[in-house]
Amino acid sequence: MRLLFIALFFGWSLNVNAVIETYEFETPELRARYHVFVEELRCPKCQNQNLADSNAGVAADLRREVHRLLHDGLSDQEIYDFMVARYGEFVLYRPKTSGVTLYLWLAPLLMLVLALVVVMLIVKRSQQTSHKETLDNNDQVALQKVLEGIEQQGDKS
């Protein structure tokens, strides 16, 4: 048991080797801007990780690219535009509001409203059919006579 624990510990510790990148920055402001970018840009390979948290090769390339763009003197908007042009809106955690993104945000709400309307129509239709199946007084009297006639025929047999 002890040997198994030691083997598992060393096997797990081999997977914990995170890449630590060190970039040189001319000013603390550039370093702060870099950290904002790597926190706000999404890794194109990973589903829901930013560049700072991802160990994917493409994330390392993007971190290097952000570092280069910052040192080239590009503004924040120019860096965002560059990333969107190259990787699409997916690279942004907070994409611009447009018709497509608005539809994506509103689609679940619209589906919920549509589902509620369908359920209400089904319930209303079932209530209407159950009311149609109830007999009025004349029909109940006629049914009772038929049932009595059947019982009398059964007694004669």
Q: Is residue 141 in some structural domain? A: yes
Domain that holds residue 24: 2-91
Query: Do 10 and 87 belong to one domain?
Result: yes
pLDDT in tens, 112-144: 999 999 999 999 888 876 655 666 778 788 888
Query: Do 85 and 18 belong to one domain?
Result: yes
Q: What's the domain count of the chain?
A: 2
Query: Do 74 and 19 belong to one domain?
Result: yes
Q: Is residue 99 in some structural domain? A: no
Could you tell me which residues are beta bridge partners of residue 41? Answer: 92
78 pLDDT tier (thresholds 50, 70, 90): very high
Three-state secondary-structure class, residue 49 = coil
pLDDT in tens, 22-35: 777 788 898 889 88
Query: Do 7 and 70 belong to one domain?
Result: yes
- From 110, 100, 99, 88, select the one nearest 44 (Cα to Cα): 88
Region 36-41 average pLDDT: 87
pLDDT for 156 equals 67
Three-state secondary-structure class, residue 22 = coil
pLDDT at residue 13 greater than cutoff 60? no
